């Protein structure tokens, strides 16, 4: 995809802010063994090429304004505005189409695991993997079929099918891509009963119905027999 860019003379944060106000994205074009070019790109043009079929892995035919030479390049890195989410700076890397490059590719899970139908939870542990291939062979994403996963199953990089012309760079056994596990149960703790409280009734509360009445206190002994006078 063709991308027209402008070379800029000044650098610095003040100049970058000025460019963004004018609808331009500051960036740098790195050449293979050549001196880097400080550039600016119309935001609409950058959005157009990066939302095409190849996404962030598109091969860009970069043309500096006023020149005829094209530079086959890829988007090496980019920065985003933390509030608005817009791209605020880009690094373009010139590449040779006949030499392999390294790139990060998204892994997309497809299908519904059998374990999820039985109540399990699907988790995607790793969303990107590192690959090496010719620039034109780098895919936009890699699909991973998880429909056959049962509860307790784990899929690793080693479970991804081989792709001709592309090499996986991460550890195939240690790179976990997806798991299906039982849902986590949260048990509420039982209320603690302080020692001495069990069986006690709150003050003023009567005993439960049917409980034996407390024995009456004995009356004081009479001073004399009833009906007789002392002496």
> pLDDT tens digit string along 92-139?
999 988 999 998 899 999 999 999 999 999 999 999 999 999 988 888
CB count in 10 Å sphere of residue 57: 19
What is the percent of the chain with per-residue pLDDT over 70, rounded to a whole number? 77
- Residue 65 gets the label, from left (phi > 0), alpha (psi -120 to 50) or beta, of beta
Instruction: Round the average pLDDT of the chain to a whole number and report it.
Output: 80
Q: Say which residue, 16 or 28, is predicted with more confidence.
A: 28
- How would residue 185 be classed by pLDDT, with cut points 50, 70 and 90? low
Residue 226 has pLDDT above 60, yes or no: no
* pTM of the complete model: 0.64
How distant, in Å, are the alpha carbons of 106, 154, 180 from that of 122?
A: 17, 10, 5
What pLDDT shows up at residue 175? 96
- Token digits of residue 120: 């399990």
Task: State the Cα–Cα distance between residues 14 and 114, nearest whole angstrom.
Answer: 55
What pLDDT shows up at residue 54? 65
């Amino acid at each position: 995809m063709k991308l027209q860019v402008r070379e800029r003379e000044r650098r610095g944060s003040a100049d970058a802010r000025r460019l963004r106000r004018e609808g331009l994205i500051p960036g740098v074009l790195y050449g293979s063994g050549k001196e880097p070019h400080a550039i600016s790109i119309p935001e609409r043009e950058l959005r157009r090429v990066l939302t095409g079929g190849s996404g962030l892995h598109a091969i860009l035919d970069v043309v500096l304004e006023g020149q005829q030479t094209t530079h086959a390049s890829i988007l090496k890195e980019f920065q985003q505005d933390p509030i608005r989410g817009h791209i605020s700076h880009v690094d373009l890397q010139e590449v040779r189409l006949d030499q392999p490059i390294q790139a990060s590719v998204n892994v997309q899970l497809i299908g519904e695991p059998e374990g999820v139908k039985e109540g399990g939870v699907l988790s995607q542990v790793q969303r990107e993997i590192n690959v090496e291939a010719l620039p034109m062979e780098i895919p936009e994403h890699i699909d991973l079929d998880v429909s056959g996963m049962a509860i307790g199953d784990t899929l690793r990089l080693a479970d991804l099918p081989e792709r001709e012309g592309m090499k996986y760079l991460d550890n195939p056994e240690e790179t976990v891509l997806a798991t299906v596990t039982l849902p986590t149960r949260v048990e509420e703790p039982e209320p603690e009963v302080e020692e001495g409280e069990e069986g006690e009734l709150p003050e003023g509360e009567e005993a439960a119905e049917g409980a034996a009445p407390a024995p009456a206190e004995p009356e004081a002994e009479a001073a004399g027999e009833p009906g007789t006078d002392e002496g």
